[in-house]
Structure 1
Amino acid sequence: MKKNKGNLCRMLRFCIWYCMIVGVIWGVCHPLRVHADIYDASDLIYADWEAIGELETSSARGWPQSICVTDKYIVCLINGAAAEAIPDTLIAFNKDDYSYAFEVTERDYEHGNGMTYNSKTNEIYVMPGPCLDKENEGNIYVVDADTLHWKRTFQSSSGQNFGGIEYLESTDQYVVSGGNGSKFRLMNSNFEILKIIAPRTKPPGSTYQDFCVTGDYIISPCYDGESKVDNYFVIYSLSQGEYLNTFYADLPGDDEKKEIESLCEIEPGKIMLGVGISNPRRVRLYVATLRAAYDITASAKNGTISASEETVEGGTDYQVNFQPNEHYELSQLIVDGEQVESDPKQTEYTFRAVSGNHSVQAIFTEIPQYKIKTKVIDGKIDETASVYRDEDWTVSYKPKKHYELSSIWIDGTSINIENAKDSYTFTNIQGKHDIRVKYTEIPSWAISTSVKNGTISDSIRKAYRGSSHTIQFEGKKDYVLYEVKVDGVKVDKKQFTDSYTFADISGAHNIQVVYIWKYLWVCALLGAAFAAFLIFYIRIRIIRRKKRKKRQEERELRAKELAARELAENENADDITENAENMTETADDSTEDTEDMTQTTDDHTEDAVSEEKITDSEETGE
């Protein structure tokens, strides 16, 4: 086991040393290319052009046509002759000190009006311009960037002849201009036309030279056919496809003729001109340093960033802002390919005094989640959830009907339920939690109901504490409310005509309701009035009969006295006696009538008493 460990360590050390050595060799053989653009094309107005060297052409009729910069050299193409098919010359100047390196003269590039360097293939692409041999129109010549020897020739798919070319490294595309600079076109890596970028303004007699692309600017030197003045810079926007402005280039020197044929950006913000000088014919190189524009490339994983690519003025500070997607946080911040120290909450990074291209990548990872377990007895509660760290989480709960909160336990500890009656909030979550909620049934009591001669709400078996219940009642047809008793005590029936509400219940209750026939009082009143009248009538009759009997007795007494007196005094005693007997008979008849009336009165009295007893019996039955 120890032996295996030793072998493993030696293998790891070997791998580390191998990677370091390979990295050094790669860095030496493939130096870092810093690409930058000029910040503002208007800087050309005030550019301070400096001549850094010149070289006579090998041909008396030779004239510089195009220039480009590779990883090692600044390459200038000298057209052997404008009207004769003789070999052209490619001259290499060392990139570090602009000194002459070597030159190659081997073939005719048909004027060689424009050329560009493709860093991916390490090749130079040469555009012919006006062709003496029409069969060469549309040709593109490929040259090895290290040896400047011709490699191959091919035609663009469109077959059109182009006079200027610039390679866009960032998109692996080409910008080309038509013969004598009529239009700019965007082409893919197979030289297929994608779109027309901008039509070039071309006053009569004007001539456009090669051009370069720096940032969003297309800078094309031209000869103005109207003013007969060389060395104008015409500026276009690559993204907008529009003409922007024209600036004059004031080059130092008292030469008879100085014509800008081509230009390229050799360092960030440093523009080099390839200028043809007459008498004698030679090529002169000018340089001017403008404000550089560097590219800040930004990207984010699982988040957003202020800009995917931004052009920044050299020497200034630039801040990149980034934001994670929801529930993500910064885990790595990679600047120029290396991870730098960062904070999970960090949302910005600043490049100080920008002097080169930079890249920044913000990598966000998902914030850890923790489970919030929930449980409830005799109620409902939010389901168990996974919650992100640092967040707050509220758990809501509610009881079953007629239940109330009894206890709450958080992570096994009981808490005061007064502070969490219907929800509990976990704040700044840093780990898992659990909550248990218990409800118990609310105390309840019965409410009993009863009614006579009507209907009433059913008795309530469970009336819960604090609740309210309304008891409805209604009498039979033709019956009216007589009394309402609540818990044995009469209440105002005028206030509670058809219902009674037990509010905020805290004990048992009962209610009794009585209805009576609405015509009972009328009948009782009429019966009592009739009985009183009958008694009064009978009493009057009795008094009258007594008075009549008394008068009758008085009449009989007077008659008897009169008869006795007449019998004693009157000689006709027999007549008097007979009359007296007649009167006696009459009195007897009257007595019999009186007895008959008395009997009738007694009969009526018995009937009245019987009716009163019947009435009392009915009331008692009710």
Structure 2
Amino acid sequence: MWERIRKGVLLGAVILALSPVMVGRAEIAGDDAFQNLKWQQVHEEERAGVVQSICATEDYIITIENLAEDGETADVVSAYYRKDKDENGNQVEPYTLAKRTQDTVWEHGNGMAYNPHTKEIYVALYTHMIPENRGCIYVMDPETLAYKRTIKISDDYNILGIGYMEDKNQYIIQTNVEGGYSFKILDADFQIVEDLGEYADTAEGDNFQDLEVCGDYIINFPLTLGLGIGDFIHAYSIERREMAAAAQLDFGFENIAADEPESLCELEPGVFLAVVNVTNTEGISTVRFYRTELPYYFQVKLSAENGTVKEVPEKVLRGERVSFSYKAKEGYEPEALRINGKKVSLGKEDKKYLLDNIQEDQNVQVLFRKIPFPVATAAAFGIIAAAAAAAIGIYYRMLQVRRERRRKARQARKRRQQLLREAQEEIMI
């Protein structure tokens, strides 16, 4: 019997381990989120070649500028500051150049993806001017910007773009025309585990730039240069395996003769940075960075200890506010909130709290404390002591009065007894 129980427990544990964990997640707010995006230019500089791809690490925004398609000319890799402080805590200007190298031929350098766990950047080459690079990706060190090694994916096609799905520890690649422009999912060892199919017949344009993965969406720019139809952004649904959105782009160009959106990366949840090559009407070629925020759902999770908290919508759009109420159980009172690990004090009489301008997931815990037994103050002790002393004084005075009365009563009795004796003696005489 015990052996059957043991096997049953083990089987249950295996099933639990293999079952998907159903958890909510922050996410782009649907297919319509890609429409009418507002783009803010945050950087511009002159270029010698074509900036093909971009990715973001913890500290840097990294680009590859392709200078020639000859298999011999080394390309330019640049790292720009992502934040207002560098890795050493020094104040810097975001989007300004931090470092630059030119020591490796990155082929076309069409795509990049950064894995924060391996601390490596994976480069989709697209071309193979160097014959042995067919179907390969290069690995880059994000600190030195140097080449590390080569990973072979296939002998049948080249890789157009690559993205990393951190929640699944998987990669998504897009093949070139020889692979049907298909999307494929790779495991952590870069082995193909799933083919998501081909979408070229639903796309704007006839080729593709690099890609980025965000939740259920694969996002990229189709190549529309010279087609006269403007710029577009594509969003493919991984779950539905179909084109979810093909939205027209408006960067607000002025005096621009030609432009080509090449690549984009995610800086924060739903916040993207695009790299666009432009040539103005005077013939000057530059590269620009454009920033945009997509409508984005964040999670709000509420919990309470020694009390209750009113539920709120689990998903809240970026920038919205959420108000919730809470109530302590008998014998407890509000103490504090813990919001994403940060403690916020509460008043004893407070019953509501407002989360304003939500810009990230909110994990809120309402803390209640046991109402302490009343403790007398020094002044109260003084009053009590004075009252007690007065009461004791009164009691002793009452005792003294009683003693005096008893003493006088005894003296009166003795006097009466003496008078009685004297009267009896006179009678006898």
Q: Deviations over 1:350-382 (max 9, x none)?
A: 9665321345799xxxxxxxxxxxxxxxxxxxx
* Residue matched to 2:272: 271
CA contact (8 A) 1:63 1:281 kept: no
State the one-letter code of the partner of 2:45: L
1:314 aligns with 2:357: no
State the shift of 1:53 in Å. 1.7
* Residue matched to 1:54: 44
1:140 aligns with 2:137: yes
* Residue matched to 1:262: 263
SS in 1 for 2:231: strand
Q: Deviations over 1:4-55 (max 9, x none)?
A: xxxxxxxxxxxxxxxxxxxxxxxxxxxxxxx965434534432222222222
State the shift of 1:227 in Å. 4.3
In structure 2, distance between residues paired with 1:206 and 1:297: 44
In structure 1, distance between residues paired with 2:156 and 2:355: 47
* Residue matched to 1:354: 358
State the shift of 1:78 in Å. 0.5
CA contact (8 A) 1:36 1:267 kept: no
CA contact (8 A) 1:335 1:358 kept: yes
State the one-letter code of the partner of 1:276: N
* Residue matched to 1:108: 105
State the shift of 1:298 in Å. 9.3
State the one-letter code of the partner of 2:171: Y
State the one-letter code of the partner of 1:75: I
Q: Deviations over 1:327-372 (max 9, x none)?
A: xxxxxx986468999xxxxxxx99665321345799xxxxxxxxxx
CA contact (8 A) 1:50 1:288 kept: yes
In structure 2, distance between residues paired with 1:292 and 1:208: 25
CA contact (8 A) 2:45 2:288 kept: yes
Distance 1:293 1:93, change over 3 A: farther
CA contact (8 A) 1:65 1:261 kept: yes
In structure 1, distance between residues paired with 2:47 and 2:213: 27
In structure 2, distance between residues paired with 1:191 and 1:70: 20
In structure 2, distance between residues paired with 1:340 and 1:52: 35
In structure 1, distance between residues paired with 2:153 and 2:57: 23
* Residue matched to 1:68: 55
State the one-letter code of the partner of 2:231: N
State the one-letter code of the partner of 2:278: I
Distance 1:71 1:37, change over 3 A: farther
Q: Deviations over 1:125-171 (max 9, x none)?
A: 10101222232012221111122122222213777521101111111
SS in 1 for 2:223: strand
Q: Deviations over 1:390-440 (max 9, x none)?
A: xxxxxxxxxxxxxxxxxxxxxxxxxxxxxxxxxxxxxxxxxxxxxxxxxxx
* Residue matched to 2:86: none
Q: Deviations over 1:526-581 (max 9, x none)?
A: xxxxxxxxxxxxxxxxxxxxxxxxxxxxxxxxxxxxxxxxxxxxxxxxxxxxxxxx
Q: How does 1:49-198 map to 2 (within 5 A)?
A: 49-58=39-48, 62-96=49-83, 97-156=94-153, 160-180=157-177, 182-198=181-197
1:206 aligns with 2:178: no
CA contact (8 A) 1:294 1:314 kept: yes
State the one-letter code of the partner of 1:238: I
In structure 1, distance between residues paired with 2:61 and 2:249: 21
State the shift of 1:229 in Å. 3.1
In structure 1, distance between residues paired with 2:315 and 2:169: 19
State the shift of 1:173 in Å. 0.8
State the one-letter code of the partner of 1:183: S
* Residue matched to 2:373: none
State the one-letter code of the partner of 1:63: V
Q: Deviations over 1:246-302 (max 9, x none)?
A: 111112232111100111122333221111123333311112233333356899xxx
Distance 1:280 1:36, change over 3 A: farther
SS in 2 for 1:210: strand
State the shift of 1:223 in Å. 2.4
State the shift of 1:226 in Å. 9.5
Distance 1:183 1:298, change over 3 A: farther
State the one-letter code of the partner of 2:43: G
* Identical-residue share of aligned pairs (%): 31
In structure 2, distance between residues paired with 1:76 and 1:194: 29
Q: Which moved more, 1:82-91 or 1:169-178?
A: 82-91
State the shift of 1:81 in Å. 1.3
* Residue matched to 1:22: none
In structure 1, distance between residues paired with 2:315 and 2:146: 36
SS in 2 for 1:135: helix
Q: How does 1:458-469 map to 2 (within 5 A)?
A: none
In structure 1, distance between residues paired with 2:225 and 2:199: 14
SS in 2 for 1:85: coil
CA contact (8 A) 2:71 2:105 kept: no
* Residue matched to 2:412: none
Distance 1:142 1:353, change over 3 A: same
State the shift of 1:56 in Å. 2.0
* Residue matched to 1:458: none
SS in 1 for 2:210: coil
Distance 1:110 1:268, change over 3 A: same
SS in 2 for 1:145: coil
State the one-letter code of the partner of 2:269: P
State the shift of 1:71 in Å. 0.6
State the shift of 1:66 in Å. 0.6
In structure 1, distance between residues paired with 2:47 and 2:217: 31
Distance 1:171 1:125, change over 3 A: same
State the one-letter code of the partner of 1:80: L
CA contact (8 A) 2:204 2:222 kept: no
Q: TM-score, normalised by structure 1?
A: 0.43
Whose Rg is larger? 1
1:237 aligns with 2:237: yes
In structure 2, distance between residues paired with 1:351 and 1:171: 30
CA contact (8 A) 1:139 1:161 kept: yes
Show structure 2 runs of 5+ residues with no match.
1-24, 84-93, 304-313, 325-336, 346-352, 367-429
CA contact (8 A) 2:225 2:260 kept: no
In structure 2, distance between residues paired with 1:93 and 1:120: 21
From 266, 286, 309, the equivalent of 1:282 is 286
In structure 2, distance between residues paired with 1:281 and 1:131: 26
State the shift of 1:205 in Å. 6.4
CA contact (8 A) 1:198 1:243 kept: no
SS in 2 for 1:167: strand
Q: How does 1:322-333 map to 2 (within 5 A)?
A: none
State the one-letter code of the partner of 1:150: Y
In structure 2, distance between residues paired with 1:354 and 1:200: 35
CA contact (8 A) 1:80 1:88 kept: yes
State the shift of 1:175 in Å. 1.2
CA contact (8 A) 1:174 1:187 kept: yes
In structure 1, distance between residues paired with 2:181 and 2:249: 22
In structure 1, distance between residues paired with 2:225 and 2:254: 23
CA contact (8 A) 1:205 1:226 kept: no
